[in-house]
C-alpha cells in the first residue's frame, strides 16, 4: 500500500472513531459534522467526500459497530444463555452499541438495521437459531427472530422507570441474563 | 373556578399535550420550545413562566405520561404475565411512553425517572412484587426491582438489529410477552 493510500485509510478510520463517539453521545440530529471534523483533524469537505452525508456516515459507524460486535461475540446457538451473558458484558464494555441502535430507532425508525452488513449479520443469527430449534434444543413454537428479540431485550435491559441495574449491580447482571434466557428458550 | 383560572388550566394542558408530541418525536435537545408555543397557540414567555425551562417541561410531560400509564395499567402483582401483556398493548397504543423514557435515558441518563411522581410509582410496584415474592407466588431469588426490569425489557422489546415485531406481528406480541413473563417469574 502506498503511503498516501495508507494516510487516506488512517483518516477514514479516525473519522469513524470520532463519529462513533459523537453519534453515540448526541444522536443523529444532534451530531455535528464540524465537531467530528475538528476532533479527527480533518474537515467537513473531506468527510462529505468520503461518506456523502451525515446519514451515510452514521450508517458506516453503525455497520462498523455491528461488525465488531459480531466478531467479538459471535452467536453461539448451542448455548444461547451464555451467548446472552456475553452480549450483556459486551454492551457494558461498549455502551455505544445499544445507544447507536437506540438513536437509529428513535430518529429513523431503525433504518440502520437495514444496511447490507446488518441484514446479513441478522440473517446468520436467525439461521443459527432455526437450526437449534430443528434439533430440538430450543423451543420451536416461536419464530427464531422473535426468540432472538427476547434475548436482546433481556441482554440490553429496559428503558423504563424501574432501574434494574442499580438493584442487581453489573456482576449480578450476567447471571440474571443467563438464567432468564435459559428460562425463555426451554422447549 | 373562575373563567380566567379555567383558561390558564386549559393553556397548561394544551402546552403539555403539544410538548408530549414534540419531545416524543425529537427528543429533549431536538425539541423546539417555539414550535411547541406555536402549536399550542401560546408563546415562549408563557411556557417558561409555567415550566421554568425546557428540562422542567420535559419532566412535566414525563410525569403526566407515567401517571396515565399507572392509571391505565396499574400493577397487578398477582398476575404479572397478564400485567406485562397489558403493558405491551399500552406501549403500542401510546408509543410515546417508551420513546420519552428512552430519550430521557439517552440524553440525561434517566433523570426523568427520578422525579417524585415516578419514584413513588416505582416504589409502589416494587413493594407489590415484594409482597407476591413473600407469598411464594413469584421466585424470591431476585430483587423485586430486577424482576420488574426483566418484565419491562420483555414488554418493550429490544432496540437491536433483529426485529422481533416484524416476525411476530402485534397480535402475537401480547401472547409472546405473557408467556415469557410466566417463564421468568416461576419460582
What is the reported pLDDT for B164? 47
For the segment B7-20, what is each residue's pLDDT rounded down to a tens digit? 788 889 999 999 99
Contact B148 A142 (CB under 8 A): no
> pLDDT below 70 — which residues of chain A?
1-6, 158-171
What is the reported pLDDT for A161? 44
Contact B158 A152 (CB under 8 A): yes
What is the reported pLDDT for B171? 59
A48–chain B nearest CA distance, Å: 23
Query: If DSSP states are collapsed to H, E and C, what string results for A84-144?
Result: HHHHHHHHHHCCHHHHHHHHHHHHHCCHHHHCHHHHHHHHHHHHHHHHHHHCCCCCCCCCH
Rounded CA-CA distance A94/B166 in Å is 27
- Per CB-CB distance under 8 Å, the chain A contacts of B133 are none
**CA dihedral over B31, B65, B95, B130, signed as positive or negative:** positive
Contact B180 A176 (CB under 8 A): no
All three cell numbers of B156: 418493550
What is the reported pLDDT for B146? 93
CB environment A76-90: b (16+ within 10 A), e (fewer): ebeebbebbbbbbbb
What is the reported pLDDT for A162? 47
- The residue written with cell numbers 426491582 in the block is B145
Contact A149 B161 (CB under 8 A): no
Rounded CA-CA distance A166/A163 in Å is 6
A33: left (phi over 0), alpha (psi -120 to 50) or beta: alpha
What is the reported pLDDT for A77? 97
ipTM summary value: 0.86
| Inter-CA distances, B57 with A145, B52, B64, Å | 38, 7, 11
Rounded CA-CA distance A148/B161 in Å is 10
Contact B143, A167 (CB under 8 A): yes
Give residues 88 to 117 of A whose Cβ lies within 8 Å of B.
Answer: 98-99, 101-103, 105-107, 110, 113
> How many A/B residue pairs have CB atoms within 8 Å?
160
Helix-, strand-, coil-residue percentages of chain B, each rounded to 5: 80, 0, 20
A160–chain B nearest CA distance, Å: 6
Q: What are phi and psi of B159, to 5 degrees?
A: -110, 30
> pLDDT below 50 — which residues of chain B?
160-162, 164-165
Amino acid at each position: 500500500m502506498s503511503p498516501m493510500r495508507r494516510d487516506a485509510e488512517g483518516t477514514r478510520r479516525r473519522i469513524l472513531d470520532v463519529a462513533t463517539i459523537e453519534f453515540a453521545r448526541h444522536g443523529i440530529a444532534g451530531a455535528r459534522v464540524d465537531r467530528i471534523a475538528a476532533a479527527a483533524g480533518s474537515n467537513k469537505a473531506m468527510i462529505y467526500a468520503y461518506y456523502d452525508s451525515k446519514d451515510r456516515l452514521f450508517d458506516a459507524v453503525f455497520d462498523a459497530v455491528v461488525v465488531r460486535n459480531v466478531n467479538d461475540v459471535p452467536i453461539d446457538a448451542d448455548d444461547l444463555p451464555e451467548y446472552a451473558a456475553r452480549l450483556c458484558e459486551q454492551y457494558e464494555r461498549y455502551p455505544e452499541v445499544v445507544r447507536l441502535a437506540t438513536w437509529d430507532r428513535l430518529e429513523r425508525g431503525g433504518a440502520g438495521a437495514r444496511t447490507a452488513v446488518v441484514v446479513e449479520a441478522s440473517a446468520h443469527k436467525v439461521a443459527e437459531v432455526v437450526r437449534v430449534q430443528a434439533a430440538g434444543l430450543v423451543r420451536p413454537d416461536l419464530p427464531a427472530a422473535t426468540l432472538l428479540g427476547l434475548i436482546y431485550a433481556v441482554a440490553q435491559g429496559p428503558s423504563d422507570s424501574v432501574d434494574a441495574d442499580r438493584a442487581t449491580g453489573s456482576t449480578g447482571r450476567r447471571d440474571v441474563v443467563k438464567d432468564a434466557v435459559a428460562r425463555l428458550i426451554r422447549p
